[in-house]
């Protein structure tokens, strides 16, 4: 099934007349809204009219958010169909951005371990959520993407049931995507598929000193994952933080390997690690830059604030992706680090569409030969 896709996936429509230091075309991907919950495609035409599709070595792309665990199979299939059709209709490349880490409120069958009066109750669900100590499963999780958001309990990255469910949902996505990829290969337009980002700042939260989390939940998570790796109160890891780092690395690898095993080429898969870990202050995610690297994907990062020297060293000589980015006018320095092939900007409706300076910076980038 994938033979023709793998043979044609690297094919491009255009050939520059000079030597490039990266895979052509490079993509600038626009996310519709932050935190990416908008599921329609109406914004795409307006965006293309405003920005153009790119006349230099960088082409315009769009992101489609798929809430892997939270949505039904039918809704996932609908969204894949909607965005693949829109990408082809508007002649813009598509990145699928999966969320298997944050939003799964509808899946109380995975997280409700404590309330028998609510749907999904099963005491065994303690195996699927994170713990704040060796025997303390959590009841809530939190996220701050501009403002605090209360979530279902954080998932345990080492849970076999969680991993099996993610794998099942990824199969739904791949099965729906494959006919489109085969169609693109047949018409010579494989450049319309950027790939899949199955992470979203993958990490294990520490809320201990965070003022935007209620005091009762200012906890340090990750104990369930550690327990599943053979540790406990009487046999803790020699370096508990390093072990948490390994959990994050291994889960990011699991996410991309799951898709690679289902036939998606590894150069079309991206990890998504928070690159600010070393300077993040009170809140951190146990996600060092090294967690982004594995044999099944292109390393990807969120970069809003970061240690420039450390990051430049990490990506030196390597292909990488900017999965969440600072403003486009801050890209010149990043373009000189390693081999940057994909850049994602947030968010069209919230802070790009009505800002002439941002529009101008993006147009410059799309027209640049650098």
Q: What is the pLDDT of residues 100-121, one digit of tens each?
A: 999 999 999 999 999 999 999 9
At residue 278, the pLDDT reads: 58
If we measure between CA atoms, which residue out of 104, 129, 125, 106 comes closest to residue 116?
125
- Domains of the chain, earliest start first: 3-8+22-367 (3.20.20.80)
Question: Is residue 300 a contact partner of residue 197, using CB atoms and an 8 Å limit?
Answer: yes
What does pTM read for this prediction?
Answer: 0.92
Say what the pLDDT of residue 19 is.
Answer: 46
Tell me what the pLDDT averaged over the chain comes to: 89
Looking at the chain, the number of H-run helices and the number of E-run strands are 10, 10
* Interval 337-350 mean pLDDT: 90
Residue 16 pLDDT > 90 = no
Q: Is the pLDDT reported for residue 40 higher than 90?
A: no
Residue 208: which pLDDT band, with cuts at 50, 70 and 90?
A: confident
- Cβ density class 3-14: b for 16+ within 10 Å, e for less: eebeebbeeeee
Region 14-33: mean pLDDT is 65
pLDDT, position 34: 54
Contacts of 85 (CB under 8 A, 6+ apart): none
- What's the CA gap between 291 and 267, in Å, rounded? 17
pLDDT higher than threshold 60 for residue 35: no
């Amino acid at each position: 099934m994938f033979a023709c896709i793998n043979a044609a996936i690297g094919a491009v429509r255009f050939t520059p007349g000079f030597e490039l230091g990266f895979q052509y075309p490079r993509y600038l991907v626009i996310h519709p809204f932050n935190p990416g919950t908008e599921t329609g495609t109406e914004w795409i035409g307006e965006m293309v009219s405003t920005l153009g599709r790119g006349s230099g070595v960088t082409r315009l792309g769009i992101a489609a958010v798929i809430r892997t665990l939270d949505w039904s199979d039918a809704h996932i299939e609908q969204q894949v169909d909607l965005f693949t059709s829109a990408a082809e209709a508007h002649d813009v490349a598509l990145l699928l951005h999966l969320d298997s880490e944050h939003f799964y409120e509808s899946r109380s069958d995975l997280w409700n371990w404590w309330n028998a009066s609510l749907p999904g109750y099963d005491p065994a669900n303690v195996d699927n959520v994170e713990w704040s100590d060796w025997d303390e499963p959590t009841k809530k999780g939190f996220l701050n993407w501009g403002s605090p958001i209360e979530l279902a309990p954080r998932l345990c990255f080492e849970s076999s049931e969680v991993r099996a469910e993610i794998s099942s949902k990824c199969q739904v996505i791949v099965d729906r995507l494959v006919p489109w990829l085969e169609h693109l290969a047949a018409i010579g337009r494989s450049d319309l598929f950027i790939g899949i980002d199955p992470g979203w700042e993958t990490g294990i939260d520490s809320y201990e000193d965070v003022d935007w989390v209620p005091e009762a939940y200012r906890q340090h998570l990750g104990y369930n994952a550690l327990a599943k790796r053979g540790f406990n109160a009487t046999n803790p890891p020699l370096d508990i933080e390093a072990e948490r780092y390994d959990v994050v690395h291994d889960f990011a690898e699991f996410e991309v390997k799951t898709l690679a095993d289902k036939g998606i080429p590894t150069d079309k898969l991206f990890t998504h690690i928070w690159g600010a870990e070393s300077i993040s202050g009170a809140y951190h995610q146990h996600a060092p830059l090294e967690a982004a690297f594995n044999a099944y994907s292109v390393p990807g990062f969120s970069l809003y604030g970061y240690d420039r020297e450390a990051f430049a060293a990490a990506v030196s000589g390597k292909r990488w992706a900017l999965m969440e980015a600072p403003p486009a006018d801050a890209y010149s320095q990043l373009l000189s680090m390693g081999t940057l092939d994909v850049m994602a900007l947030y968010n069209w409706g919230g802070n790009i569409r009505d800002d002439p300076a941002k529009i101008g910076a993006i147009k410059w980038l799309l027209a640049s030969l650098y």
